[in-house]
Chain A
Amino acid sequence: MLTRRLPSRRNVVRGIVASAGAALLAGCKQFDGISQAPWFRKNVLHVGEDINTAVQGFFLRPSSMAREFSAADISPKFKANGTIRPNDPDYQALAADGFADYRLKVGGLVENPMEFSLADLRAMPSRTQITRHDCVEGWSCIGKWSGVQLALVLDRVKLKPEARYIMFTCFDKLEQTADETGRYYETHSLEDAYHPQTILAYDMNDAVLDVPHGAPLRLRTERTLGYKMAKYIRSIDAIDDYSKISLGNGGFWEDRGYDWYAGI
């Protein structure tokens, strides 16, 4: 009985194996459509990163520190990614003069909006840290950063109680758009903004921060991926909601499908 039924079963199995093989060889283009379907992106694909955010939020305490390395660990070559030379005329005029006329504007939902020159920021207590920079693309570099803790700057301007995020607006447009949606910006939680290792860096590897790495001022948030660390900072604003800003996802790369919480 068993032996008589085997040939047809064998054919069934052959059919299954052949169709599975054909599906594999046809490639993964069958997932391209669903990858771009808004409902699927919003309700299904997003779930994994939502769980990442919740789980990391549970384990990552405000006091959890990113590892700091020794001078011997610094990368010989620190890759500069994204914009490496902003073509904004205001920026180029400032750069031509060594950023002597640069003023960091800090405002939004604050009691005392202020402007800081680089000399003002350098006169404040500084923090130096040798940390690993993790790019979402998979590579890492180790660099030495000096700057002023963002918490000290925020303490000067005094956040209003309704402030929930800190937004960084940059000089560079990473995508050339007619409107402002191509401009680089980032938003951060207050926990990350007040973290001791969150600094506005003006020096890198014992030299003044150069243009490819974000001169005159870039953000370091050492517990996140690199795209959260805005370069070429023009202004900082305390805000209560980022859904009305630019494309509404809280950052340049977030508006292009990357996760707002970039802890992994």
Chain B
Amino acid sequence: MTAAADIATTDKPLPGGTVLVRRHSPVVRITHWINVVVLFFLLQSGLQIFNATPALYVGQYADFDHPVMSLTARNTPGGPVGITQIGSARFDTTGFLGLSQYDGRWAARGFPSWLTIPGYQDLATGRRWHFLFAWLFAINGAVYLITGLASGHLWRDLVPSVKDLRGIGPSIVEHVRLHFAHVREYNVLQKLAYLGVILVMLVLVVAGMAMSPGLDAAFPFLIDIFGGRQTARTVHFICAMLIVLFFVVHIVMVLISGVWNNLRSMIIGRYAVTAGSDADAH
């Protein structure tokens, strides 16, 4: 199917040389917004769970004296401070990481109350929120992947062609200059970002499963993928942070590349493109 033929049969020409094209399918739109809600709860209940042991390790067991990352509170002559340690580098993060205010009092907490669900320290309830939304995330993700594979959406719209990849340099230049071509198809950086975040989410899910002693007994290879439960926990955390990074970049790009057009395309599916530009772009 060519973009030009599609425009001729289904798209609405608007005054001013723009054309409304169908961009996102109903499944993509629905799973996208479910994911927004689900990831909000997963991230914050996940940080609640992290706070029960606010440190990350590598290997089969926790080498308590050598975390790869930790958020701790220490007493100093000048009062308590929050310390973030990554590798051998230390940062004073008092008020945010390691030590923060809760109900007007200083509390030793990995992540602060306003970033966790529940806000108070409660591992058991954090786990309940996390597993509830983990299943919604898994079901939602499965619907997206199965329909995306069956319809060809993933292959057609997200996997970059060789021609796309050759154009990666010019595409970066265009992004830096904040020149955004309003065309139906994703540019190569979008394709790589969306494909990348799907892969990160898959690794995140498998790493989460690998932390389960029950699943490890049923499927021993789970732990071998990562080389240890503590490594799996660290990978799970890094994947979550990569999704946060994706979210920040995604929001910035949505805001600066035509926020209403982008939002409309993800809500009702229609996206305004410059007439004729779509066919030219590919």
Contact = CB atoms under 8 A, between A and B. Distances in A.
Interface stretch (B57-65, B80-88, B196-204): B57-65
A263 B213 contact: yes
A29 B113 contact: yes
B129 interface: yes
Contact of A45 (B16, B113, B128): B128
A218 interface: no
A222 B53 contact: no
Contacts of B113: 27-29
Contact of A48 (B134, B217, B219, B230): B134
A51 B212 CA distance: 14
Contacts of B212: 56, 263-264
A263 B218 CA distance: 11
Chain B interface helix/strand/loop/mixed:
helix
Contacts of B216: 66-67
Contacts of B211: 134, 138, 264
B26 interface: no
A13 B259 contact: yes
B158 to A, nearest CB: 26
B118 interface: yes
Nearest to B131: A48
Interface residues of B, number: 56
Contacts of B255: 17
Given A13-B263, A139-B53, A264-B131, A224 B114 contact: no
A244 interface: no
Which among A141, A225, A253 has the highest number of chain B CB atoms within 10 Å? Answer: A141
B11 to A, nearest CB: 15
Contacts of A256: 124
B229 A35 contact: no
Contacts of B52: 136-138
Contacts of A6: 260
Interface stretch (A69-77, A167-175, A234-242): A69-77
Contact of B213 (A69, A75, A225, A253): A225
A73 B230 CA distance: 14
Nearest to B230: A140
Interface string A42-74: 001111110110001001110011110100010
B260 A66 contact: no
Given A28-B119, A67-B223, A48 B130 contact: yes
A60 B212 CA distance: 12
A65 B218 CA distance: 7
B53 to A, nearest CB: 4
17 contacts: A1-B14, A6-B260, A28-B113, A28-B116, A35-B125, A41-B128, A47-B132, A48-B131, A48-B133, A67-B223, A77-B64, A138-B52, A140-B61, A257-B124, A258-B124, A263-B213, A263-B215
Interface of B: 14-16, 18, 44, 49-50, 52-53, 57, 60-65, 113-120, 122-125, 127-135, 211-220, 223, 229-230, 233, 255, 259-260, 263, 272
Closest 6 CB pairs of A and B: A263-B214, A48-B131, A27-B114, A257-B124, A48-B132, A264-B212
Given A49-B127, A134-B213, 12 more contacts: A29-B113, A31-B129, A44-B132, A56-B214, A60-B214, A66-B216, A134-B229, A136-B52, A139-B61, A139-B64, A139-B230, A263-B214
